[in-house]
A and B are shown apart, each in its own frame.
Chain A
């Protein structure tokens, strides 16, 4: 994940408390989305950014996951994201991100 974004996430977690935050991802692909989810839960797996070794354990979702979709006004969701359901691999992305979430989220 972008290093600047990591430091922003870290600062916000300190400011609001990790239990009060959620992260929603929009990654194009399962592996990259999984790595981003891991970064905000278990720490930067690339050992590159400010979240290296920092286990925030934030609640993290991908916008394409069915439970996220269910929580959003269908018309808005269709307008903003609908097309990408056809384009991206929803199943693989959902499986990857939810696995990481179940494994590392502390809240």
Chain B
């Protein structure tokens, strides 16, 4: 059984001290004349204080969350180094965030003061995740006087260090669900969601446009007075982050939302509904300063001054990433009861027992990971610790551990809390990134992620909610002692010693791949081949060395400018057709899938289909270009589909349709995979790659793609000796994407399915037909041959003609607008059509 896997998790904090006043508790307290109001402003932290606060550094991955336990409490008196960015995200300052609010505002509700905007614009533009669209949306800002006027009329003011720098206007004159405060709350959730989703896309090196589904799990409500919680956060965030192919949904269950999202996402991937699912949520404005009353009372800084955000990527089994055991899902049932024991049994012991496991068999738990510095002074205690103690107490009660081992259980299987009290943000998800890394390093086998939600706060039920799921190290990952297959870094070999522009160009390509995509690239040179590898010539020895590295898993893939694939292996490339600007696969581009032209075309279609599957497209559409041999090849693939292989065929976008694609379709393909013979495909890649460079250098695209064929065990992507450095880097990134996607396993699996369906036998039936020869062809004057038999493939023209001659029908061949035709006497037309149809030529 395969499961969905956890591909990465991103985390963001936004330090927003001036927004704390908008929190539900501070806004209430400040409205009363108490000393809270007087002490409020001086209790807020600076950005630097928020940056060095240890739990924040743990949240973005600069500090192992386990190490927090070794730091003296309270943590707000400690400062750790680390900085703004971490391996899992960042801590963004307030002023830049206000520009993001503006950049994601599609309704012109956010106005920023012009000098403030000018002062931050450069820093905003320098952010690695900011696009030109976002920059353009900033505009020039408004004069202070106009913002002051807006605020007087009901806009929500935005302050930075106490100075009015902008406002958010109401989105409707009367509708309270679109009031300024609500719009601010929703734009805050959207903007922080966009930022963290962009981080996820970057850190997992997954193009935003390749995501299929977004599940948004914050606790905000977007809609108007007729549907106060209508939804739309998911699509709004996806739209701003460039997820053009994805659809999205808002999923709610108070703080349990993210855990429900994780279970749903994993299930949809496992069911094959979606290939890549991101679960995402931005921060909660209302929860800022939730316990500020007690923080201020005790002379502490107001620690709830950050918005949180997280995003998680779930996709198919890559053989490496931790698997989400959707067969072991804990759920708080409506009838479970609400005692702490009933809740934790439903979430922890019941799902474990279903697989014969106990709480002791789980090495680490991610519960509600609230930072205790924030909650203890308010009387809520140390929430993660209380959760761990309940699990441990269950283990004691059920006799799995001794009472005296309770504290040990808590410290060995638990983590200190480190997440802000942003409701859904601390709930189960904060440790996902850490767990993933631990599992990839072989340090963790099984963990449980638990989300709980206080449904009763909505006053329509007294019920509680919760859901849990087990995360396990991928059984397919290499055994201990071997090189880690894939961590943050994918290791690739690059072989291009025969490059036309010399070694420098190749080195530049490798450097770009390292810098832009964080890949570990090793250039293999003929002079470095180990002496133990023998061969008749340096080329052979180099190839053997590469194959050895691939076989041992030393590298996960390779990019080569020259590689001798066996017959049966052809490469499938990726192109950007000018008519759509979106990617499309082209099969084939080098190599040869079969010696026979028709069989080769049919195979190419299947190879392209396989690559599309490996790239996460669950239902690729394949289209044959109208080339010699395409018609019989198309028929073969139709037979394959009829035999049960789920391959879908395209229809031409031209008015007359048909299943063969014309030149117009090449420019704007109505499909995910274009099928051509290798030489044509190769020409097309070269045209697209050199179009703007004058012809000599290939400056666009990803090269020629990976070799695909039955029994072919490796990931080797092909480039040309004329590929410029950016194309070399792109080819490496393409190979890395395939390595992470488990390309070799997908390829092997698909060829197994094809074998089971009798694909080889099917191919053998339809070799290009031998020409039949009639002894003396029947003749008629050309003037009488006016009726057209169309839809015949050029390769079969001769055989079709012979079949007609054998039936005594005189013919003349001609060229129609979509291919060759045979002209016959109108009186022979019907009989001729029958003969050709019966013989399979039309």
Please report A residues at the B interface, Cβ cutoff 8 Å.
3, 27-29, 31-33, 35, 46-48, 79-84, 86-88
Contact = CB atoms under 8 A, between A and B. Distances in A.
Contacts of B28: 3
A32 B293 CA distance: 13
B381 A29 contact: yes
Contacts, number: 55
A3 B31 CA distance: 15
A80 B394 CA distance: 13
B390 to A, nearest CB: 5
Nearest to A89: B381
B380 interface: yes
A81 B339 contact: yes
A35 B380 CA distance: 12
B396 interface: yes
Contacts of B403: 86
Secondary structure type dominating chain A contacts: helix
B406 interface: yes
Interface residues of B, number: 25
B152 interface: no
Contact of B386 (A35, A46, A81, A87): A87
Interface of B: 28-29, 32, 34, 293, 297, 339-342, 344, 376, 378-381, 386, 389-390, 393-394, 396-397, 403, 406
B390 A83 contact: yes
A80 B379 contact: no
A86 B389 contact: yes
Given A29-B379, A83-B393, A86-B406, 12 more contacts: A29-B380, A29-B381, A32-B378, A48-B32, A48-B293, A79-B339, A81-B339, A83-B340, A83-B344, A83-B397, A84-B340, A86-B396
A35 B379 contact: yes
A12 B403 CA distance: 42
19 contacts: A28-B386, A29-B380, A31-B379, A32-B381, A48-B32, A48-B293, A79-B339, A79-B341, A80-B339, A81-B339, A82-B341, A83-B339, A83-B341, A83-B393, A84-B341, A84-B390, A86-B393, A86-B406, A88-B386
A47 B33 CA distance: 11
A8 to B, nearest CB: 12
B635 to A, nearest CB: 68
A29 B390 CA distance: 14
Contacts of A80: 339, 341
Contacts of A32: 378-381
B141 to A, nearest CB: 40
A3 B28 CA distance: 11
A28 B393 contact: no
A32 B377 CA distance: 9
Given A28-B381, A35-B379, A81-B339, A87 B293 contact: no
A88 B394 CA distance: 14
Nearest to A27: B379
A84 B376 CA distance: 18
Given A48-B29, A82-B341, A87 B390 contact: yes
Contacts of B381: 28-29, 32
A80 to B, nearest CB: 4
Nearest to A83: B341
Contacts of B380: 28-29, 32
A80 B339 CA distance: 5
B393 A87 contact: yes
A21 B297 CA distance: 31
B300 to A, nearest CB: 15
A27 B394 CA distance: 20
Contacts of B341: 79-80, 82-84
A83 B341 CA distance: 6
A79 B386 CA distance: 18
A28 B341 CA distance: 15
Contacts of B342: 79
